[in-house]
Structure 1
């Protein structure tokens, strides 16, 4: 009946189980919820930090030159600034560093790490080889593993710290070739923080959530059931019992660790030296739920119940298992108010029956029957109204006192300006539904505080990004105004050129009329014709100079458009980060439910504004691209104009030569003049096209200025909403040490 527990240990647990057997469905849902929530937290966290790495990789490859990651010191400094920026955004990073093709650290947020070489036998070699293995290079989440550098760097977001490390490894591809590796270091204790959440633990005396190896693929040297995360029994955060660092004593020996749980302990039952059933069944089936008596023996040989799941984080080759457990004794130790009232009523009935029996026995031989009956009735009435009533009132006050304590605590936070650092003390409540209610209220407040801290952090990140966006918008606006001035100057030069062409054309017409007269008076008018040709030569030289100036102006304009493209890229990145932060805030707000609806609305507005910024940026990007293409057309047209001018100069020279022999070639004179006139007409057509293109460019630049004003207004609107969000969060008192 009591299985492996034996009668002495098993009987009290069996009684608790029988009294609370109706809680089975609730307990199943509790452990299912704990496991799924922790699993989602791990997955969301991994996706967030892979997002940091991927965006950083795109920025690094953008500044790489000639297929090399670190081509010169200026480039190294630029990459270092990118690493520092991402380091500031990811609060769990303790280091970001860049390896070259040979595995040497070229750039790092930890300067002492620079120059370290990771050879084929290094601790992270399996992860690097996985990234560079056969086929297409792919990212890898490597670990946990021990790394002294992590210990030297110290803690950042976790109150616990040792050398155990998780490493995000991302290959960098430039021009289709592997060029190096981007790595992000996170202390493995972050995983323990994510799945434990001590201040809101459902089962504070014994509950433990831990990760273990389920199916090793990359780290095949790690045995099944080996611990991969920190345990509460290592942290000394549980309420009762021995500690793994001090040693847990069993009849089969002492279970202990030297430095940390990870990789030092395998979750086996000391009585059998085999994986304890919860871990074993989770590995075999991928999931395991067991909440009934007598539970199963864990590595302390204590009856536990709970939920086991398997999971695989993004880009992690290994499959991990996670157990969410509680001691059977703590889970089912509750004694319901109904049970206590029933027990009280049973005692009242028993005492009343005994006293009534004694009273009847005393009076039966000394008084008539009616006196005995009357005395029994009066006694029953007095006992019911006085003694039993007093006992009932005492029990009622006991329940009401606890409910009022809970009511007072809830009222503090009900108006949205509560102290989220406060918690109810379950030990001050009776071991009944009120204590369970207190524990779940603590859990809810802890979840709410965690979400509020995330919203606070997200708002700070959005505001920081907003300042960067404002600065970029200001720079872009200045660049756009500079482009507008240059376009205006270019159009002024083209107009001057058109006037010169009109003058040249007019001169050519006059020359043609003159040459026709020269056919009749050739000898007398040759000098006049030669003078006109010289004038045309001067004009053609002036036109050539103007066309060259116009070409230079268009080339500078195209360079400025390229600068605008770079600024737009920064705006797109900031918009993407704003959208991601708003999405995280929406997810966290949605998890709270009704309490987070207000924050979900704010986060949604931030996403809308971020999307508006992205769309505006895309439109500006398209306009800039169109401007660039039209500028290229203008450049091509002006180049053609230059060639035409050169042809015209050559024709003018030929005309001069022809005039020198005009006496013998009168017929050739008219032909040359006609060709010059046609040439002037062609130059005029090209110049008119250039003027049209330049006008279009000027219009597009003005549109771009308008779009930049729109971006600036949107940016100011987002900043306003972010400040409002910070004001809302500021109404709550939060535990800053929990900020991740």
Structure 2
């Protein structure tokens, strides 16, 4: 019946269990509520601190910090300090480079430390860089001397046990290092213990243990991962783990801290105690019945076990929320006490009445005996029983008034949340239970008010930073607005210059087209004249050929000299006329006609010589053959000169055609320039529109900044009002939870 407890220990516990077995449902709900609340606290806390890390990592990876390395380090340090100030549980934030060296830290002595293959952080860094992929990691708990050297920040307890948030930094797809946040592991104990809010102040303990190791495979199942409430004398009225808890199977103790030093085994069997084992096997365990189960102290306990996995933590943890069976069921109800009192009253009254009737029965009439018994019953009920009932009721009322007074102080909205009811001053009944739950409620309320106070302080600090940033941004926006205005003014001036340039280009195009038209006309005239000269040169060439034929005829026959001389005179006259015309045409052509002038001069000379020869022919008949031969030679040279002249005429025609083509090319270039200017004008029009839009957007931004500033001032007022509301309550300043 009493199982492993034995009769001596088991019987009193069984009696308590039987007297209060109707509380089973309530006890189950109590432990269920404690376990779920603590699990949510842990998960919410982890999400909150991962949020700090992720926002800081985003700032570090997205910020392009110009300047020298020292300036970059200072700016990164300021970002770390800002996050450190917001997260009250951080004791250090530091940045590792790709080689595992601490480059920036809120703890200056840590900078320069390198974490290599066998270092404390090697498992975490290996997990973060799993091949080519990266992932965050919540690493620990593990012992780190730096945590001990840094000291406590938000917890009343402190040792070297550490939790480390490790977040990989990826730049351009490549691992660039890791952002790390250090939190003392005792923070977990603070989250799940809430000492002053313990419903079972003498025995209640909430602790975390290893349920399924994935990264920390060296940690055995059931090993403690958080501080026990009984680690030292702070929490217990009896033995503690520092001094050693005595059992029939030896002393259970720790050297430095609960974490990793205690494995939750039953000392009687050496196996994991049933609460831990069932939680690991089933993921959950609830047991609140007699005789409970033996824990590592070999004391009968009951409670609720759950498993959980915090964000980015590779390991699965278990959490037990327990209380000693004796304390949970030691309550004695007011109804029970009144029943006992009534039983004693009835028993005493029956005994005394029986004695009175026995004494009077043989000495007085029956009616006197009956009347005496009735009077005695009335007097006993009014005096003795009434006094006993009054005393018992006064105990209950006194306790209720104490509770009422405590509640009234805090119900007025300006209560002292540092005060707690002392359960030891209450009877072991519902009033004590009520006092414990009121303490739990006040403890929760104080924790909430402290969080609100801290949040209000954070909001106010952030608000001040935002106000400063808004002011700087507003000034920068105004400067940008002025710069944009200046830029738009310059663009408008450029647009005016472009419009003038386009207008000038249009005028230049018209002028060039007019010049092109005039040049085309002149080239056409020159082309016509060159063609005419070409015809004349062809005619001259023909005449020269005829002259050669005539001379040959002179050489064949002297008898025909006179007729030939007549013909020569006519040809000479015509040649002279043609030479004159050629000279005139050459003069009109100008520089290009100089060759024609030479030809014309030579032709005139030939005509004069022919004329003189004709006049002298009668005198020098004997020399006619020689002169005719000379004339033939001269005419042959003349033919060559004429051919050269023809070539010059062709070259002149080609030159005129080239000039006309170049004029056409110039016109095409001008058209292209004008087209380019038109496109520039179109782009300038678009720029004018865009610049106007930019100017409008800048003005809208200035308006939005004014709105942000007004909203910021409103939030600041609300935050100050919130602080005033919180300030109405007296809080424990040294307690952050």
TM (normalized to structure 1)? 0.77
Which aligned pairs between 1:306-345 and structure 2 lie closer than 5 A? Answer: 306-345=303-342
The corresponding residue for 1:289 is 286
Of residues 505-514 and 254-263 in structure 1, the stretch that sits farther from structure 2 once superposed is 505-514
2:158 is paired with a residue of what secondary structure? coil
Contact 1:206 1:240 in 2 (8 A): no
- Give the deviation of 1:170 after TM superposition: 1.4
Structure 1 residues 167 and 677 mapped into 2: Cα distance closer, same or farther (>3 Å)? closer
Structure 1 residues 362 and 93 mapped into 2: Cα distance closer, same or farther (>3 Å)? same
CA distance in 1: counterparts of 2:110 and 2:491, whole angstroms: 58
Contact 1:269 1:299 in 2 (8 A): yes
CA distance in 2: counterparts of 1:476 and 1:23, whole angstroms: 63
Q: Deviations over 1:645-704 (max 9, x none)?
A: xxxxxxxxxxxxxxxx99999888987777766665554444333222221221121112
Structure 1 residues 118 and 386 mapped into 2: Cα distance closer, same or farther (>3 Å)? same
The corresponding residue for 2:14 is 14
- Give the deviation of 1:238 after TM superposition: 3.3
Contact 2:102 2:110 in 1 (8 A): yes
The corresponding residue for 1:400 is 397
The corresponding residue for 1:29 is 29
Structure 1 residues 688 and 170 mapped into 2: Cα distance closer, same or farther (>3 Å)? closer
2:424 counterpart (404, 422, 427): 427
- Give the deviation of 1:497 after TM superposition: 3.2
Q: Deviations over 1:623-643 (max 9, x none)?
A: xxxxxxxxxxxxxxxxxxxxx
The corresponding residue for 1:60 is 60
The corresponding residue for 2:702 is 705
The corresponding residue for 2:44 is 44
1:126 matches 2:123: yes
2:209 is paired with a residue of what secondary structure? strand
CA distance in 2: counterparts of 1:411 and 1:449, whole angstroms: 16
CA distance in 2: counterparts of 1:520 and 1:221, whole angstroms: 100
CA distance in 2: counterparts of 1:330 and 1:501, whole angstroms: 94
Q: Deviations over 1:462-515 (max 9, x none)?
A: 111111111222222222222222222233223333443444455556667767
Which aligned pairs between 1:231-630 and structure 2 lie closer than 5 A? Answer: 231-507=228-504
- Give the deviation of 1:206 after TM superposition: 0.8
CA distance in 2: counterparts of 1:417 and 1:262, whole angstroms: 40
Contact 2:293 2:300 in 1 (8 A): yes
**For this pair of structures, how many residues does the alignment match?**
599
The corresponding residue for 1:637 is none
CA distance in 2: counterparts of 1:669 and 1:175, whole angstroms: 53
- Give the deviation of 1:235 after TM superposition: 3.0
The corresponding residue for 1:220 is 217
- Give the deviation of 1:358 after TM superposition: 0.8
The corresponding residue for 1:5 is 5
Contact 1:198 1:237 in 2 (8 A): no
1:84 matches 2:81: yes
Of residues 497-506 and 151-160 in structure 1, the stretch that sits farther from structure 2 once superposed is 497-506
CA distance in 1: counterparts of 2:104 and 2:430, whole angstroms: 57
1:271 is paired with a residue of what secondary structure? coil
Structure 1 residues 272 and 663 mapped into 2: Cα distance closer, same or farther (>3 Å)? closer
Q: Deviations over 1:71-105 (max 9, x none)?
A: 82222222111111111111111111111222111
- Give the deviation of 1:48 after TM superposition: 0.8
The corresponding residue for 1:104 is 101
Structure 1 residues 520 and 145 mapped into 2: Cα distance closer, same or farther (>3 Å)? closer
Give the greater-gyration-radius structure (CA). Answer: 2
The corresponding residue for 1:136 is 133
CA distance in 2: counterparts of 1:23 and 1:400, whole angstroms: 23
- Give the deviation of 1:13 after TM superposition: 0.8
Structure 1 residues 375 and 292 mapped into 2: Cα distance closer, same or farther (>3 Å)? same
CA distance in 2: counterparts of 1:420 and 1:679, whole angstroms: 81
- Give the deviation of 1:51 after TM superposition: 1.0
1:113 matches 2:119: no
Of residues 425-434 and 669-678 in structure 1, the stretch that sits farther from structure 2 once superposed is 669-678
Structure 1 residues 24 and 521 mapped into 2: Cα distance closer, same or farther (>3 Å)? closer
Structure 1 residues 699 and 224 mapped into 2: Cα distance closer, same or farther (>3 Å)? same
Contact 1:662 1:669 in 2 (8 A): no
Structure 1 residues 77 and 338 mapped into 2: Cα distance closer, same or farther (>3 Å)? same
1:116 is paired with a residue of what secondary structure? coil
The corresponding residue for 2:730 is 733
1:171 matches 2:192: no
> What are structure 2's unaligned runs of at least 5 residues?
520-657
Q: Deviations over 1:260-284 (max 9, x none)?
A: 1111111111111211111111111
CA distance in 1: counterparts of 2:173 and 2:68, whole angstroms: 18
CA RMSD of aligned residues (A): 2.4
Contact 1:63 1:75 in 2 (8 A): no
1:723 counterpart (720, 723, 728): 720
Structure 1 residues 107 and 347 mapped into 2: Cα distance closer, same or farther (>3 Å)? same
- Give the deviation of 1:224 after TM superposition: 1.2
CA distance in 2: counterparts of 1:302 and 1:517, whole angstroms: 118
Q: Deviations over 1:285-325 (max 9, x none)?
A: 11111111111111111111111111111111111111111
2:156 is paired with a residue of what secondary structure? coil
1:146 matches 2:149: no
- Give the deviation of 1:236 after TM superposition: 2.0
CA distance in 1: counterparts of 2:111 and 2:462, whole angstroms: 29
CA distance in 2: counterparts of 1:355 and 1:108, whole angstroms: 85
TM (normalized to structure 2)? 0.77
> What are structure 1's unaligned runs of at least 5 residues?
523-660
CA distance in 2: counterparts of 1:178 and 1:519, whole angstroms: 69
- Give the deviation of 1:395 after TM superposition: 1.0
Contact 2:230 2:236 in 1 (8 A): no
2:734 is paired with a residue of what secondary structure? helix
Structure 1 residues 704 and 450 mapped into 2: Cα distance closer, same or farther (>3 Å)? same
CA distance in 2: counterparts of 1:488 and 1:339, whole angstroms: 88
Structure 1 residues 199 and 498 mapped into 2: Cα distance closer, same or farther (>3 Å)? same
Contact 2:136 2:166 in 1 (8 A): yes
1:171 is paired with a residue of what secondary structure? strand
